[in-house]
Amino acid sequence: ANTITEYDTIAAISTPVGEGAISIVRLSGEDSVAIANRVFRGKDLNEVPSHTINYGHIVDPETDEVIDEVMVSVMRAPKTFTREDVIEINCHGGLLATNHILQLLLAHGARAAEPGEYTKRAFLNGRIDLTQAESVMDLIRAKTDRAMQVAVNQLDGNLAHLIQNLRQEILQVLAQVEVNIDYPEYDEDELTTKMLLEKADLVGQQIDTLLKTARQGKVLREGLATAIIGRPNVGKSSLLNYLLHEDKAIVTDVAGTTRDVIEEYVNVNGVPLKLVDTAGIHKTEDKVEKIGVDRSRQALAQAELVLLVLNQSEPITDEDRELLKATQAKKRIILLNKTDLPARLKAAELASYLAPDERPINISILKQSGTDTLETKISELFFGGIETNQATVLVTNARQISLLQQAKQSLEDVKSGIAAGMPIDLVQIDMTNCWDKLGEITGESAPDELITQLFSQFCLGK
């Protein structure tokens, strides 16, 4: 890492480009105030107290052209996100004015920030740990209130504290083992191994608890890939439209990223569903006969949850049977749609395709009856068996999960080593390994490379 340029003054637009009425251009670094002052007409920013907001105009000093009317926040180190001097220019301009301001700042001494560079500085300056840095990213991408809450908890350092406690436990036992090795006259091998085993169990259990939350965490972060399938005309588009209706649709554009596939996210009782292959749903309308089942199969392959729609006002068809079979191994919810019409689907035949405890949901999407039951069912499926109060720590991210698994593996190695009668100093290595892996989660023992790679995943301006 190039530690010299690490701390020059950086600038970026830190609000999503082209969205909202206000944009923020942010500076961080030693020269933030001086650089802003060069293009600001209003109070002398060098003179204003820290943590104040100052009204004025951004003016190109070369041409005297007024670019925008702005509010400038001056926040001096160390009580800032990066622990450096930070300036935030709130402008109400569209893209053009905002860009113009950024260009002016770059022309007057700032350097364009790399993606994630603000957060990286906060980490390098000791303001936050890696789990907190990752939660900043989660916050940016949070798709529901719950996802937001999880990210906020992590930003508070809850996960980091948990991990630090586990490391402390391990450190204690390692120190004790060291003493026992150094003073062999006191050494009672049995006592040492007993202590190691107990600790491996204790720490292992807590890691397991964290790992159990991982699936929920991942879903909150990424959305639960959900496919709506069914033969033509059963009501798939109607269901899709219902789900996308008003407040349920989640705006997902993340600044600085492009996606070639449009994914649609909806918030169902706090569970973000990522609807897969919604294009396929619309397509069945054009070519009713052919595409239905084939297309459904493709969507099925990607789905973690299947909403299988049947039309209960008609008898089961071969296509229905095929889809019932194809989804048997999936997490699915079967919807018997069009309950406003007379029932012609034979319950007994349907039952032969269901798991013993599987309960299809009667629904009329047209009349919006049964839709509450569907929504409740989705959140039960997802949150069932897990506490989700505000203090819950959920492991949300693949890097963290993988490190927890490796830490757990080291503990298994400790146990099997002891069982095989390995010398204590070898067992000690595995225990130390566990300590190391846990430290990587918070960044206390993370290699440089990893840090660079991790922060490059952030959006520009964060």
Near ligand GDP by CB under 6 A, which window of 44-52, 66-74, 125-133, 334-342?
A: 334-342
Rounded Cα distance between 172 and 337, Å, is: 60
Question: Which CB atom, from 190 or from 286, has the smaller least distance to Zn ion?
Answer: 286
Please report the DSSP string for 102-147 in residue order: HHHHHHTT-EEPPTTHHHHHHHHTTSS-HHHHHHHHHHHH--SHHH
247 DSSP 8-state letter: G
- Could you count the other beta carbons within 10 Å of the beta carbon of residue 439? 19
Shortest Cβ 231–ligand GDP spacing (Å): 7
- Contacting residue, 341, 391, 419, 426, with ligand GDP by CB under 6 A: 341
Residues contacting 311, CB < 8 A, separation 6+: 230, 233, 234, 235, 337, 338, 345
Residue 338 touches ligand GDP, criterion: CB under 6 A: yes
Question: Which CB atom, from 365 or from 414, has the smaller least distance to ligand GDP?
Answer: 365
Residue 296 touches Zn ion, criterion: CB under 5 A: no
Residue of 4, 28, 152 whose CA lies nearest to 81: 28
Q: Mapping DSSP to helix (H, G, I), strand (E, B) and coil, where does residue 161 land?
A: helix
Residues contacting 219, CB < 8 A, separation 6+: 271, 272, 304, 382
Near ligand GDP by CB under 6 A, which window of 180-188, 213-221, 232-240, 389-397?
A: 232-240
**Cα–Cα distances in Å, from 139 out to 145, 159, 414?**
10, 15, 37
Restricting to residues 351-410, name those near ligand GDP by CB under 6 A: 364-366
Among Zn ion, ligand GDP, none, the one that 233 touches (CB under a kind-dependent 5 to 8 A) is ligand GDP
Residue 337 touches Zn ion, criterion: CB under 5 A: no
The vertex-325 CA angle with 319 and 328, nearest 5°, equals 140
Question: Which CB atom, from 65 or from 340, has the smaller least distance to ligand GDP?
Answer: 340
Near ligand GDP by CB under 6 A, which window of 7-15, 40-48, 332-340, 381-389?
A: 332-340
Shortest Cβ 317–ligand GDP spacing (Å): 13
Residue with tokens 């052209």: 65
- Contacting residue, 285, 340, 358, 372, with Zn ion by CB under 5 A: 285
Shortest Cβ 269–ligand GDP spacing (Å): 21
Shortest Cβ 232–Zn ion spacing (Å): 7
Query: Residues interacting with ligand GDP, by CB under 6 A?
Result: 230, 232-238, 281, 284-285, 337-338, 340-341, 364-366
